[in-house]
Amino acid sequence: MAHIKLPEGLPGIRGPMAFRPETAKPLSELAEVLLHAPHSLTAGERELIGAYVSSLNDCFYCQASHAAIAACHLRGSESLVADVLHNFEGAAVSPKLKALLAIAEKVQRGGKNVTSADVERARTEGATDLEIHDTVLIAASFCMFNRYVDGLATWAPQDLSTYRARAAKVAQDGYGSVLTAIQEAASGNAG
């Protein structure tokens, strides 16, 4: 049961965002820029970073949501996503993504854990300054999102098919569609 009264029927981050739509807009816009907008890293790679950080933070809702979205972007490869979450260094992803995931892992523990050697590894594997920057920001943002979800004790469906159904829409339409759904739910709960 959530720590505060949230709109019913909205799991994870959707409940708190519907509760406070004024903050939902900038949070959704940040997610859109970091995870969905055109970028040199694929949307699947960026979603993997978010899912990985969420798994490190033990945030089931965010991990399941973003793992499902990543799988949609990666041609439905749930096994690849699971491999990354379990042991990214042994997963069948590029050396560049492995280096960026290593940076994300360090950010999750605390930003000061990222070393020059971590950044140099990423650069050696072909990462640009923009990709390094956005990896750090994705990891930091997911720490915030995870704490937002878990700090309010939101509920999360345990059936992974629930996440797959929503993931396809987010993968196709982006995070603006999430904001629209949250705004509609908030206005429906206000009346």
For all residues of the chain together, what is the average pLDDT? 95
Structure tokens at 16: 């708190």
- Calculate mean pLDDT across residues 54-78: 97
CATH node for 18-33+42-190 = 1.20.1290.10
Is the predicted pLDDT of residue 190 greater than 50, yes or no? no
Q: Is 99 left (phi over 0), alpha (psi -120 to 50) or beta?
A: alpha
Confidence category of residue 143, pLDDT binned at 50, 70, 90: very high
- Calculate mean pLDDT across residues 181-187: 75
Q: Closest Cα partner for 17 from 135, 162, 149?
A: 149
d(CA 100, CA 174): 23
Is the predicted pLDDT of residue 72 greater than 90, yes or no? yes
- Calculate mean pLDDT across residues 9-29: 94
Is the predicted pLDDT of residue 189 greater than 70, yes or no? no
Structure tokens at 141: 């943002």
How remote is the C-alpha of 88 from its chain's centroid? 16
Q: Tell me which DSSP letter residue 11 carries.
A: -
Three-state DSSP class for 181? Answer: helix
- Calculate mean pLDDT across residues 97-122: 98
pTM greater than 0.85 (yes/no): yes
Confidence category of residue 191, pLDDT binned at 50, 70, 90: very low
d(CA 81, CA 44): 10
